[in-house]
Amino acid sequence: MILVVLQGYYIYNSYRLEEKELIRQARAIADKTLDTMEKYETETNEEKLVGDFQRLKTGITIQKEKITQPERIYSSEKIYNEKLEKILKKNIGDSGFEIGMKSEIYSILDEVQKKELLPTNRSLVLYQTVKKMSKPLTINEGKWSSRQSRQNTDLKLDEKNYYLVKSKSTFQLLNVKILVLKKIIPLIIISLLIVILIVYLFRNSIKNLNRQEKKISQLHTTIDSIAHELNTPITTLKFSVAQTSDSETKAFLERQIKRLENIVSSIHNNDSDGILIDEKEMGNYFSEVKKSFDKIDFKIKIDFTVNKSLFQNDFRQIMDNLIDNSSKYGAKEIEVVIKMNKLIEIEVSDNGIGIPKEEKENIFDKYYRISRVENLHVNGLGVGLFLVKKIVDKYKGDIDVNPKKKGVSFKITIPNEA
């Protein structure tokens, strides 16, 4: 939509510019024509013209006749018209312009009688083209006085003819619309093509995007069902291992089965166990963690007043994933701050390789792993943070990631109400 409006605006502007330019050129032609026409404005002609004013004057005042067509009064008009057409044609040349022109007297003030000789909205045409104008533009305007006195002593006449005459010349480029259109048609076609191309590309990208999304969701379903299908062989294996008598093989197989189970359960979130985590259980949990990650320096701060909502296995799963990640991604130090008051706040900060700001939105997507060199040798399915987010969402809580100078900090907030 915006694109169409912008293109429209652009074409409109080009139209106006082109129109302005063509009118400027037409004005120059009209101007030149007018210059040539001025050569015919000789003194004899002017006298003739003033004589016509006289006829106009007497016509109106003495015979009391209403003059309806004063433009007809000026008898020389016809010859001038022909001259105008000829000069104009020569000046236009092969530019394709159709120009209308007119030179007229639009006011004749009889200064003796203080009276306008021309009826309102009527003018005395000096010359004009055959093609008439609908919206004339002024080329120039002029004002001049004619003063003649005649004395006739026999008749005791003292005649004075003083006139103040106002005239103007106008022109119009009659075929301006067609000329402009001819010039900007290629532009319109190109603009249309651009719009069509962009709409086509846009539709194609949307289609591709949908196709990709469908493929990704199919892939997710497949991985989920593989994990689900693995449950049965794991159970059978567990049962068979229990029967094995060789204790060394048994221990080895049990470790491998445990690994398999962990992978499968990381894809499928376990249901809540219905037991709320308390301060003692938290303490137990962290001493286990410290033993498992003996190379990491833990700083644990717990401010426990009450827990009305967070279940034990959800707490474990959140902590397991966050601590496991910190350890996988280079942390030497992990700080855990837990507050269980009006709100449940859990903050896990580390000093590992950190998370780039632009990845903040992606890391909670299922199977998403940041692709970077540091990750190449770190195992993972990209489901850890997805599960953490899912659990937090279940409690209508929030999870916030804050990249630090060195490392990253995750802050979870959960309402503490039953």
Which parts of this chain interact with ligand ADP (CB under 6 A)? 321, 325-326, 328-329, 350, 352-355, 363, 368-370, 375, 380-386, 408
Rounded least distance, CB 367 to ligand ADP, Å: 8
Rounded least distance, CB 287 to ligand ADP, Å: 22
| 48 or 406: CB nearest ligand ADP | 406
Instruction: Tell me how many degrees the CA angle 283-287-292 measures, rounded to the nearest 5.
Output: 145
Do 163 and 140 touch, CB atoms closer than 8 A? no
Rounded least distance, CB 400 to ligand ADP, Å: 14
d(CA 331, CA 406): 9
Report the candidate in 212, 201, 321 with the shortest Cα–Cα distance to residue 269: 321
d(CA 389, CA 365): 9
3-class secondary-structure state, position 226: helix
- Amino acid identity, position 296: I
d(CA 172, CA 138): 9
Report the candidate in 133, 138, 104 with the shortest Cα–Cα distance to residue 121: 104
Q: Which two tokens stand for residue 279?
A: 């301060």
d(CA 388, CA 368): 14
Angle between helix 176-243 and helix 247-267 axes, rounded to 10 deg: 150
| 279 or 333: CB nearest ligand ADP | 333
Rounded least distance, CB 283 to ligand ADP, Å: 23
Rounded least distance, CB 237 to ligand ADP, Å: 24
Do 190 and 25 touch, CB atoms closer than 8 A? no
Rounded least distance, CB 281 to ligand ADP, Å: 24
| 380 or 415: CB nearest ligand ADP | 380
| 70 or 352: CB nearest ligand ADP | 352
| 312 or 317: CB nearest ligand ADP | 317
| 133 or 230: CB nearest ligand ADP | 230
Residue number closest to ligand ADP, CB atom: 380
| 168 or 389: CB nearest ligand ADP | 389
Element holding 163 (H helix, E strand): strand 157-173
| 331 or 340: CB nearest ligand ADP | 331
Do 56 and 70 touch, CB atoms closer than 8 A? yes
Rounded least distance, CB 352 to ligand ADP, Å: 4
Rounded least distance, CB 387 to ligand ADP, Å: 8
3-class secondary-structure state, position 51: helix
